Amino acid sequence: MHYRQRAGTRVKSLTFGALISFFALGGLSTDVAQAAAVKDYGKQGEPIELVVGYQPYYTESWSGVIMRDKKFYEKYLPKGSSVSFQVGLQGAIIVNGMLAGKVDIGYVGDMPGIVSTSHPDVRDIRIVSVLGLGYDQCNVFLVRTDAPTFGSADDALKWLDGKTVAVPKGSCTDRFAQAVFKAKNLKPSEYLNQSIEVITSGFRAKKLDAAVIWEPTASRLVQEGLARRVASGASVNERDGGFMVMPQALIEQRPDVVKAWLQAELDASLFFADPKNAMEIAKMAVGQTTGFQEKSLWASAFGSTPKVAGGTDVRIDLAYGFTPEALDLIKKASAFLFEIKSIPSEIRPEAVQPQFTADILKARGLTAPIGQVKAQPDSAYAGN
């Protein structure tokens, strides 16, 4: 691939507030300073080299895990194309790579997905597909193991008033936690900005009362006996989501590649929805992560949690296309980011590109959502 200079690009136009917002989401890379050049993706039909940033550490985006292992894209991309996958521990890392022109396709959560679209003067990034929607993938409340036994999720949430709560701020967990605090009129004594690693240490040392984190870490902490699950988005009707993002340069220059990748993404989502693939997917995730046991990874997508603790029968709605629920989530998350001054304005209408998935679904006789990842009983786990 090559780069060409975009006339009038103002790379230094990132405001201090924008830098702060990206710092909250994981740190804006200095490589973004090189983003003035527009990548040349070649002509339609030519082989292409793609770099895909994905998150095996975010269960709702595991179609990327499946894609890496099953290589569905080989069926659709121009012959001779090559694909390399880069793990992003958080969506912000992937967004930084995309803004720097080093990542071409991103699998991210709702918050970094929206933030990625907010700096077109650096690099114009668009949301092209919905990876999944849920209530308990990013929106998971955990409490210390010696917390009281609660009769309901609502009782557990009330207990948080005056307690020490931690989240990785700027993430989907932050939006969810603040929405719950506002709705329930709760005021934690401390609301800490901590990474997943620090939260894990905090629970181990019993320095935290509660935290809001995402899967698969939520299941890992529960299965390791470091925390208890007490509530989720299902408890307060708050969704979470994952999205696929691509640069507008790729969309404009290579619609053939965009369509090819999204055809393969549909195959990956259909594979995810088939319950008979649960163990195979868990094994894929083991091979693409470190520090996680197979059972925790399986539980993060397919495990069951009691309803009293925010459990759901459907763990992930595989929307693929832009359903009303997906669009509503984008609107709410965008408003939150604007309110906390993490983006300069609410999301641009053109930042969401629904036509590719709509056309593919129509051609294949499908409608969104294309499937569901359903909770299974513990007895369904077939590993060691």
Confidence of residue 10 (pLDDT cuts 50, 70, 90): very low
Give the range among 15-24, 150-159, 207-216, 228-237 with minimum mean pLDDT. 15-24
CA angle at 285 for the pair 25 and 138, rounded to the nearest 5°: 40
Amino acid 172: pLDDT? 86
Amino acid 354: pLDDT? 97
Does position 31 have pLDDT exceeding 60, yes or no? no
Beta-carbon contacts of 292 under 8 Å, excluding residues fewer than 6 positions away, are 216, 220, 285, 286
Amino acid 274: pLDDT? 98
Does position 26 have pLDDT exceeding 60, yes or no? no
Residue 168: asked if its preceding bond is cis (omega within 30°), the reply is no
Amino acid 38: pLDDT? 80
3-state secondary structure (DSSP) of residue 254: coil
Q: Which residues pair with 314 in a beta bridge?
A: 374
Mean pLDDT of 147-169: 95
**b/e map 153-192, b = 16+ CB within 10 Å:** beebbebbeebbbbbbbbbbbbbbbbbbbeeeebebeebb
Mean pLDDT of 216-229: 96
Amino acid 328: pLDDT? 96
Does position 6 have pLDDT exceeding 60, yes or no? no
pLDDT in tens, 327-338: 999 999 999 888
Half-sphere exposure of 66 (CA within 13 A, CB side): 23
Mean pLDDT of 267-279: 98
Rounded Cα distance, 252 and 360, in Å: 18
User: Which tokens in the block code for residue 163?
Assistant: 């307690």
Amino acid 1: pLDDT? 52
Does position 17 have pLDDT exceeding 80, yes or no? no
Q: How many CB atoms lie within 10 A of CB 290?
A: 8
Nearest Cα residue to 166 out of 221, 96, 239: 221
Share of the chain above pLDDT 70, in %: 91
Mean pLDDT of 220-248: 96
Does position 27 have pLDDT exceeding 60, yes or no? no
pLDDT in tens, 36-78: 578 899 999 999 999 999 999 999 999 999 999 999 999 999 9
Within 103-254, where are the H helices?
110-116, 153-159, 172-184, 196-204, 217-223, 233-236, 248-253
How long is the chain? Answer: 384
Amino acid 15: pLDDT? 33
Does position 304 have pLDDT exceeding 90, yes or no? yes
User: Which tokens in the block code for residue 358?
Assistant: 């709509």
Amino acid 16: pLDDT? 28
Amino acid 382: pLDDT? 93
Q: What is the mean pLDDT of the chain?
A: 90
Amino acid 340: pLDDT? 83
Does position 193 have pLDDT exceeding 90, yes or no? yes
Query: Do 242 and 110 meet the contact criterion of CB atoms below 8 Å apart?
Result: yes
Does position 33 have pLDDT exceeding 80, yes or no? no
